[in-house]
Structure 1
Amino acid sequence: MRNGKLSVATQPIQVSSEIGTLRRLLIHSPDRGLGKVIPSKAQDWLFEDIVHIDMMRRDEYDYYVKLLLYFLDPDKVRGRIAELGPTKDRSFFKPDHPEYFKSDKVIDIQCLLSDILASELIRTKLIASICAVERSSVKTQQLLHEFDPVELAKILISGSLPDRTMLFAPLPNFIFTRDIGIVINDHILLNKPAKLARTREALLAQYIFFNHPIFADYNDKIIEIPDNEHAFLMADGESNKDLTRSTLEGGDVMMISKRHLMIGCSERTTLYAAQQVMRMVFEKNLVDTVTIIKIPKKRDYMHIDTIFTQVKRNVWVLLASLGRLGDEVKKRDVIHFFAPKDVSEDLRILQFIKGLEHKPIEMENLEDLLADISKNDLGSKEPVQFIYSGNNEFPFGAREQWTDSCNLLALKDGVVIGYDRNDKTAEAFREAGFDVVSAADLLDRFERGESSPETIENTFIMLPSAELSRARGGSHCMSLPLLRDEL
């Protein structure tokens, strides 16, 4: 550290799987903007509900940060968990707090924004850019120049001044750092958000990745998705938006193995953007295989990481209704044969091999794809296991998928973080041989020396989630891994 700031040295970036031991990631602790969401604007700002911000921070996200630190930067918390217990007047997780943990392994993106705003040139350009995007007055632009870098970073993210005056809409989705970018081996793919509510997020991310010293050696390895030049010339409704618009979010991209990238086409990511990413990663020789998964364009699913994530080399969690079991149910349902086909409900999987893009391989269902990855990409010798949302019991599969039962962050092979409210999914983990433990109990075990991040195996860690789950994103969404060990 230098004067309380993150080191300016370039840090290594490398992610070649979803389950290699996590060493460094970007997060964003809930900020004051989350507390500004009101019912009439919630859906415009991509929220289904309003959250209790203090409870989210103190009783839920606080555990997430402590878990991450115990696994990635244990010296910051080991022996201090009781001392750092959640209280109303002390915010361990807030980057501007005097006792903030200041880790260079668990990095809050707000810290990086504060760092780059210390440069007068970047400060001037970013303020001008954001005021243009937000259509702010010259007076507002001048006012922003009066704040120091730390407070300015908070304003640009939360949209509000220290006195709670609102200048812009908040960025409540900024806690979902996965969506602003994704690391593909040693390259960084920046997103192009589908919704206007996330435009400022993308702009802030762009400035951070191109200007912060820790990414200095990777400027020529940042991938930005081009817009379709023809899309601007077409009248509204004239063409299929999927084929003309270029929108992509990180929840639809998984670096599944060293030479295999997975891209979802969803409510938020278009086929055009997926095609452009495939073209660029093949040209840069980053991967040999790209699998494109088209999922139903429904708010229930949003991104592919809301319907499946990886737990272990040979274990996956997924939503049964979009897998093989869902197909079996449809085959037994007479109505399915006679009802008009709704193509928006289709799930389709196409796999493209570099040099043979004109001959994609179509896969029947998710289980076949995921089993093939475990066996052939990751070399698993053990039988492939599938853990289903809600333990595949009606109506719990859909209920728990809605509260992110399939959206898990792997801290290492076989150790994942999920939400405690998904009881039936936790039951399915137990039946699959996993230890299911609350975040508080696991931290207590670590403090008493009964377990450690190095020795723990096959564990589903349950994070308190009454408020976090209202935001429609799980631990996978709330993380942008920068460095994982290779498998």
Structure 2
Amino acid sequence: MKSIFVASEVGTLKRLLIHSPDSGLGKVVPSKAQDWLFEDIVHLDTMRKDEYDYYVKILLYFLDPEKIRGKIAAIDADTSRSFYKPDHPLYFNSTRVIEFQKLLADILEEELVRTKLVAAICAVEHEWYTTQSELSDLAPVDLAKTLISGTTPAGEMLFAPVPNFIFTRDIGITINNHLLLNKPAKQARTREALLAQYIFYNHPVFADIRGKIIELPDNELYFLLPDNEKDYNKTTLEGGDVMMVAPNHLLVGVSERTTVFAAQQTIKILFDREVVDKITVVKIPFKRDYMHLDTIFTQVKKDVWVVLGSLARNGRHTDDQIDATMSGLIPPRADEEVKIVQFFKGENRPKEIESLEELLIQISVEDLGCRRDKVRFIYSGNNEFPYGAREQWTDSCNLLALKEGVVIGYDRNDKTLEAFRQAGFRTVRAADLLNEFETGTSDPETLTDTFIMLPSAELSRARGGSHCMSMPLHRE
């Protein structure tokens, strides 16, 4: 298998990178939650055992079934039920569902890499030389846990956790056979980017793409700019704003987290390297409500998309929202519009696209060969006010396609699930589907048009869905 290759959002998923909840998530305190990009504090054990546990099992059944088939009863009987962590005796150790912490521990076996990375982390975190020496003495497995969680095996909290690391989508994006590394917008994610950089450049899994790793340059004039121009001209890009929707078509969102300057750099580099022929820049409102492009839409099938209706038609409100606006509930705002510009390799005339719906129709028809009259949209909250906005906030539009037509998302978005059922999809709880797989009454190979419902009471507090919690490395 190729180490990486992604040319679609819905091709059958063959390999991906995840990071299961670590102890750092349990150390987020209210006074620092927003600094660490969390809206709330979470209950770690519930998130791990009752929610993320199902996510990993489902991923394994679809990508590496021999690692999980017939073993669920034994896993569930273990009271710790953290089989997804590399230091657990039941760790699945898959080469298809890859745990980031495992890769980090692997590269820390190399003395030179360990020395460089520890020094870099201590510099970023403003730690003393004595801390650097203390970390260097840890075993690779313990050091990997410490660099991620910020806490030593002895329980000493050296530096802040990186609770957003469960959202591996944001550390990089696979574009055909290239890898684009992120440039995080928030300081809280700097350590994640550094750890990812060391893994992609040093782990043997990625040895065949060394010359195909893309890092965006910083603006060399940034420090000379006046303060009112700095935000616009800073290089920040996160993976949730980048979607590989067709072999030669990439979407880049300009958002709260990704700047116009970063989008421009992405276009230049990818066109110069002839990685893609078409890049569409989608500017969405710079609001925490949306954050990334994949919080307002994701793809379900070649001709089916789940989308936030209020932003789908060039920012115009739906009928229910217009009524609410007239009642003074939702003031109309110009900055709530979506702006879309398409760029083509070798051409100097970009093309404007009227609305998000029109863009998604174009992708389905022109890039993926679907009939225009067959393209369908499933709307967040079934396009009913106020459920569209409520359920988008809890990631109704943030779904991971395991293969075309089979997606995994949160169980709490009732109106969106109703919309999926109306569109002909089966909705099934992850636990029930796993039982079907174990008893042989259902099989991942034959499953079609299904929404797999993941328990989400705690996961949804972290403000990211199943699309965010995955970094696809290989799709058919």
Aligned to 2:251: 262
In structure 2, distance between residues paired with 1:171 and 1:335: 39
The SS at the match of 1:160 is coil
Aligned to 1:286: 275
Indicate if the aligned counterparts of 1:59 and 1:86 stay in contact, CA closer than 8 A. Answer: no
> In the alignment, does 2:309 pair up with 1:323?
no
In structure 2, distance between residues paired with 1:377 and 1:60: 36
Equivalences for residues 420-435 of structure 1 within 5 A: 420-435=411-426
The SS at the match of 1:40 is coil
Candidates 287, 311, 325, aligned match of 1:298: 287
| Worse overlay, 160-169 or 417-426 | 160-169
In structure 1, distance between residues paired with 2:383 and 2:121: 46
Q: Judging changes above 3 Å, is the alpha-carbon distance between structure 1 residues 283 and 32 closer, same or farther for their aligned structure 2 residues?
A: same
Candidates 193, 196, 210, aligned match of 1:202: 193
Write out per-residue CA displacement over residues 263-289 of structure 1, whole angstroms, 9 at most, x where no aligned residue.
Answer: 000000000000100111111111111
> In the alignment, does 2:355 pair up with 1:369?
no
The SS at the match of 2:452 is strand
How far does residue 344 in structure 1 lie from its aligned partner after superposition? 2.9
Write out per-residue CA displacement over residues 21-53 of structure 1, whole angstroms, 9 at most, x where no aligned residue.
Answer: 000000000000000000000000000000000
Indicate if the aligned counterparts of 1:247 and 1:268 stay in contact, CA closer than 8 A. Answer: yes
Indicate if the aligned counterparts of 2:296 and 2:392 stay in contact, CA closer than 8 A. Answer: yes
In structure 2, distance between residues paired with 1:329 and 1:451: 39
Aligned to 2:123: 132
How far does residue 147 in structure 1 lie from its aligned partner after superposition? 0.5
In structure 1, distance between residues paired with 2:377 and 2:77: 36
Aligned to 1:241: 231
In structure 1, distance between residues paired with 2:375 and 2:101: 39
List structure 1 segments (4+ residues) > 6 angstroms apart after TM superposition: 333-336, 338-341
Indicate if the aligned counterparts of 1:226 and 1:246 stay in contact, CA closer than 8 A. Answer: yes
In structure 1, distance between residues paired with 2:324 and 2:129: 64
Query: Partner letter of residue 307 of structure 2?
Result: L
Query: Partner letter of residue 177 of structure 2?
Result: D
Q: Judging changes above 3 Å, is the alpha-carbon distance between structure 1 residues 481 and 369 closer, same or farther for their aligned structure 2 residues?
A: same
- Normalised by the size of structure 2, how large is the TM-score? 0.96
Q: Judging changes above 3 Å, is the alpha-carbon distance between structure 1 residues 334 and 303 closer, same or farther for their aligned structure 2 residues?
A: closer
In structure 1, distance between residues paired with 2:338 and 2:315: 11
> In the alignment, does 2:83 pair up with 1:92?
yes
Q: Judging changes above 3 Å, is the alpha-carbon distance between structure 1 residues 459 and 347 closer, same or farther for their aligned structure 2 residues?
A: same
Q: Judging changes above 3 Å, is the alpha-carbon distance between structure 1 residues 58 and 334 closer, same or farther for their aligned structure 2 residues?
A: closer
Indicate if the aligned counterparts of 1:62 and 1:86 stay in contact, CA closer than 8 A. Answer: no
How far does residue 323 in structure 1 lie from its aligned partner after superposition? 1.0
Aligned to 2:38: 47
Equivalences for residues 105-120 of structure 1 within 5 A: 105-120=96-111
How far does residue 448 in structure 1 lie from its aligned partner after superposition? 1.4
Q: Which runs of 5+ in 2 are unaligned?
A: none
In structure 2, distance between residues paired with 1:52 and 1:472: 14
In structure 2, distance between residues paired with 1:425 and 1:329: 16
Aligned to 1:22: 13
Write out per-residue CA displacement over residues 229-266 of structure 1, whole angstroms, 9 at most, x where no aligned residue.
Answer: 111212323x2522x10000000000000000000000
Candidates 430, 434, 446, aligned match of 1:455: 446
Q: Judging changes above 3 Å, is the alpha-carbon distance between structure 1 residues 385 and 335 closer, same or farther for their aligned structure 2 residues?
A: closer
How far does residue 82 in structure 1 lie from its aligned partner after superposition? 2.0
In structure 1, distance between residues paired with 2:426 and 2:154: 46
How far does residue 355 in structure 1 lie from its aligned partner after superposition? 1.5
Indicate if the aligned counterparts of 1:312 and 1:414 stay in contact, CA closer than 8 A. Answer: yes
In structure 1, distance between residues paired with 2:378 and 2:259: 28
Query: Partner letter of residue 161 of structure 2?
Result: P
Aligned to 2:61: 70
The SS at the match of 2:3 is coil
Candidates 339, 345, 368, aligned match of 1:378: 368
> In the alignment, does 2:216 pair up with 1:225?
yes
In structure 2, distance between residues paired with 1:125 and 1:326: 48
In structure 2, distance between residues paired with 1:316 and 1:404: 14
Indicate if the aligned counterparts of 1:58 and 1:87 stay in contact, CA closer than 8 A. Answer: no
The SS at the match of 1:411 is strand
Aligned to 2:299: 310
The SS at the match of 1:189 is strand
The SS at the match of 1:82 is helix
The SS at the match of 1:84 is helix
How far does residue 83 in structure 1 lie from its aligned partner after superposition? 2.0
In structure 1, distance between residues paired with 2:380 and 2:317: 17
Equivalences for residues 399-418 of structure 1 within 5 A: 399-418=390-409
How far does residue 91 in structure 1 lie from its aligned partner after superposition? 1.6
How far does residue 86 in structure 1 lie from its aligned partner after superposition? 6.7
Indicate if the aligned counterparts of 1:58 and 1:86 stay in contact, CA closer than 8 A. Answer: no
Indicate if the aligned counterparts of 2:311 and 2:317 stay in contact, CA closer than 8 A. Answer: no
Write out per-residue CA displacement over residues 295-349 of structure 1, whole angstroms, 9 at most, x where no aligned residue.
Answer: 000000000000000000110001011012852548967979x999854322101
Aligned to 1:123: 114
| Worse overlay, 163-172 or 51-60 | 163-172
Aligned to 1:274: 263
- Normalised by the size of structure 1, how large is the TM-score? 0.94
Query: Partner letter of residue 287 of structure 1?
Result: V
In structure 2, distance between residues paired with 1:332 and 1:408: 28
Write out per-residue CA displacement over residues 83-111 of structure 1, whole angstroms, 9 at most, x where no aligned residue.
Answer: 22275423211111111000000000110
Indicate if the aligned counterparts of 2:314 and 2:338 stay in contact, CA closer than 8 A. Answer: no
In structure 2, distance between residues paired with 1:325 and 1:128: 48
In structure 1, distance between residues paired with 2:395 and 2:238: 17
In structure 2, distance between residues paired with 1:252 and 1:86: 39
Q: Which runs of 5+ in 1 are unaligned?
A: 1-9
Query: Aligned Cα RMSD in Å?
Result: 1.8
Indicate if the aligned counterparts of 1:11 and 1:214 stay in contact, CA closer than 8 A. Answer: no
In structure 2, distance between residues paired with 1:163 and 1:40: 25
In structure 1, distance between residues paired with 2:58 and 2:331: 48
